[in-house]
Amino acid sequence: MSELLGLEEAQSRLLALAPITRSINQDIKPSGLTRYLARDITASRTQPPADLSAMDGYAVTPGAGPWRLVGESRAGAPFDGTLDPGQCVRISTGAHVPQGSDRVLLQEDALVSGSAITATDLPPPGKHIRKAGFDFHAGDRVLAKGTALSPATLALAASAGHGALPCFDAPSVAVLDSGDELVPAGEPCGPHQIPASNGVMLGAMLYPYVGRVTALGPVPDDRDALAAALKRAEDSQILITSGGASVGDHDLIQQALKDWGADIAFWKVAIKPGKPLMVATREAAWGRQVILGLPGNPVSSFVTAFLFALPLVRASMGDASPLPRSQMMTAGEALPAVGRRREFLRAISDGQSVRLAGSQDSSALTALAGADCLIDRPANAPAVAQGEAVRVFPLRNG
C-alpha cells in the first residue's frame, strides 16, 4: 500500500493541474449554472442610501409625545421637509426617516385621535431605524474573488449597483465511458451486457457547472475505437474517463492515452471505493489538457467524481474553496473497523445522525441513489458504536 497516494495529496496534485478558464462578463440574471467571481467586487453605492424605517408606524421627534401628524413618508416617496419638535409623519417599511425624527413608533403602539398621536409604548432613540450604510458603503468590498454566484450573492451584487459581473468561464469537458459490456442507455441488453450509466451520471453531476458535456461513449475495449474517441476530445480542456483505467488485459485506457500523447501524472489512491484513479496531462496546440481516469464500477465512479472531478471543474472556474466540505454527525448504527484504505460509505442523514443507505458494494446503484451523504472513515479506524461522532460529506451534487 505504500505506493498509494493519500486523498488530500492526490487532490492537491490534481488541483495544481487545473486549467484556469478565461474571464467573462456574466449578466445578473438567473442562468441555472454556477459561476465564480474573477475578481473582488466593490459597491458603487451605499446601502441603505439614507436612514430607513424598519417597520410600519410613525416617525416621531424626540420626547414623549403627543405628536401632531403632518404628513407621510412612503418607500419611493419620502416626506419633503424637516420635522419640528412635537411633529411626526406616518411611515412605511423601507421609507426615508425624515430629518428631525429619532425613532419609529410602531403602529400597534400608537393611539390615533385625529392628527394627534400618542405612544402606548415609547421606543428608545434609534429604534426601528436602519441607519444609512449599515449594510455597506460605496467602495466597500462586498464579494471576494472566487465567490460563487448564488441567489443571495446576485442580490447583493445588484444592490451594490452592478448589472454584470466578471466571472470565470466553464471549462470544456468531455466524458468517455468504456467497456465491451456497455450499451447505450435505453437500448436492449444481452445477458452479457449492461446499460452505460456512468456517462449519464457524470454528465448530470457536471451540468450545473459546465452546462454542456461532450459524451464520447460508450466505447468498447478496442484500441482503434478508443483512439477515435480520444481524437474527438482534442479540444476539451478536461477529459474524464470511466472504466479501463486499471492494468488488466482488457484495461486499455492508460495505453490509449499514452498513444495519444498523454503523460500519466499519478495513479492509484488509498481510498475505497476508487483505488484505480488516474490523472494524466496532454499538451495540445492550445494548451494543457487534464485527464481524470475514474474506475468503471458506478459507485466508485460516483465517489471519485465527487472527490476529484467536481473539485477539478470548480477549481478551473476560480472557486476559492473547490473541495467538498464535511461536517460531524453521530452514527445512527454501529460501523465496522476499517482496513488500510480510507473508506467512503454511502449513507442517509436526518441532519443529526447518519446510517448506511444499504449495500456498500461498488456496483450497488440502489443504495447510491438513496444516499444523501458519504461517511468518511479513516484508514485503520476502529469500529464505531452507535451514537459516536463520524465525519460526513453531504452530497450537494449527488
Number of domains comprising the chain = 4
DSSP string of 3-34?
A: TSBPHHHHHHHHHHTPPPPPEEEEESS--SS-
pLDDT at 244: 73
| CATH value at residue 182 | 3.40.980.10
Q: Considering 258, 283, 316, which residue would you say is the last residue of a domain? A: 316
**Domain that includes residue 336, residue range:** 327-394
pLDDT average, residue stretch 339-360? 96
Whether 116 is in a domain gets the answer yes
Residue with cell 446499460: 195
- Beta strands 116-119 and 41-42 are unpaired
Q: Identify the three-state secondary structure at position 224.
A: helix
- Cβ 250 vs Cβ 244: under 8 Å: yes
Q: Identify whether residues 185 and 89 lie together within a single domain.
A: no
Whether 102 is in a domain gets the answer yes
pLDDT at 90: 98
pLDDT average, residue stretch 101-119? 96
pLDDT at 245 over 80: no
Q: Identify whether residues 197 and 296 lie together within a single domain.
A: yes
Q: Identify whether residues 198 and 294 lie together within a single domain.
A: yes
Q: Considering 316, 335, 369, which residue would you say is the last residue of a domain? A: 316
Q: Identify whether residues 354 and 224 lie together within a single domain.
A: no
| CATH value at residue 376 | 2.40.340.10
pLDDT at 249: 52
Name the pLDDT band for 328 (thresholds 50, 70, 90). very high
Q: Identify whether residues 37 and 71 lie together within a single domain.
A: no
Which grid coordinates are listed for 93?
Answer: 417599511
Q: Identify whether residues 297 and 349 lie together within a single domain.
A: no
Whether 140 is in a domain gets the answer no
pLDDT average, residue stretch 384-395? 97
**pLDDT digit string, tens, across residues 36-62:** 999 999 999 999 999 999 999 999 999
pLDDT at 3: 80
Q: Identify whether residues 174 and 303 lie together within a single domain.
A: yes
Rounded Cα distance between 322 and 381, Å, is 27
Whether 68 is in a domain gets the answer yes
Q: Considering 316, 338, 372, which residue would you say is the last residue of a domain? A: 316
Give the percent of the chain with pLDDT over 70.
Answer: 97
Whether 322 is in a domain gets the answer no
Rounded Cα distance between 159 and 255, Å, is 54
Q: Identify whether residues 72 and 32 lie together within a single domain.
A: no
Q: Identify whether residues 33 and 77 lie together within a single domain.
A: no
- Cβ 176 vs Cβ 219: under 8 Å: yes
pLDDT at 332 over 50: yes
pLDDT average, residue stretch 184-199? 91
Whether 136 is in a domain gets the answer no
For residue 273, whether the previous peptide bond is cis, meaning omega lies within 30 degrees of 0, is yes
**pLDDT digit string, tens, across residues 113-142:** 999 999 999 999 999 999 999 999 999 999
Which grid coordinates are listed for 79?
Answer: 416626506
Which grid coordinates are listed for 27?
Answer: 449578466
Q: Identify whether residues 176 and 311 lie together within a single domain.
A: yes
Rounded Cα distance between 170 and 149, Å, is 13
What are the DSSP E strand ranges found in 157-285? 164-168, 173-177, 182-183, 194-195, 213-215, 238-242, 263-267, 271-272, 278-284
Beta bridge partner(s), residue 241? 176, 293
Rounded Cα distance between 264 and 258, Å, is 8
Q: What residue spans of the chain are helical by DSSP H? A: 7-16, 151-159, 198-210, 223-231, 253-260, 298-304, 310-316, 365-370
The CA distances from residue 398 to 9, 129, 213, 304, 349, in Å, are 24, 44, 17, 12, 13
Q: Identify whether residues 309 and 368 lie together within a single domain.
A: no
Whether 138 is in a domain gets the answer no
Q: Identify whether residues 155 and 249 lie together within a single domain.
A: no
For residue 48, whether the previous peptide bond is cis, meaning omega lies within 30 degrees of 0, is yes
Instruction: Please state, rounded to an integer, the average pLDDT across all residues of the chain.
Output: 94
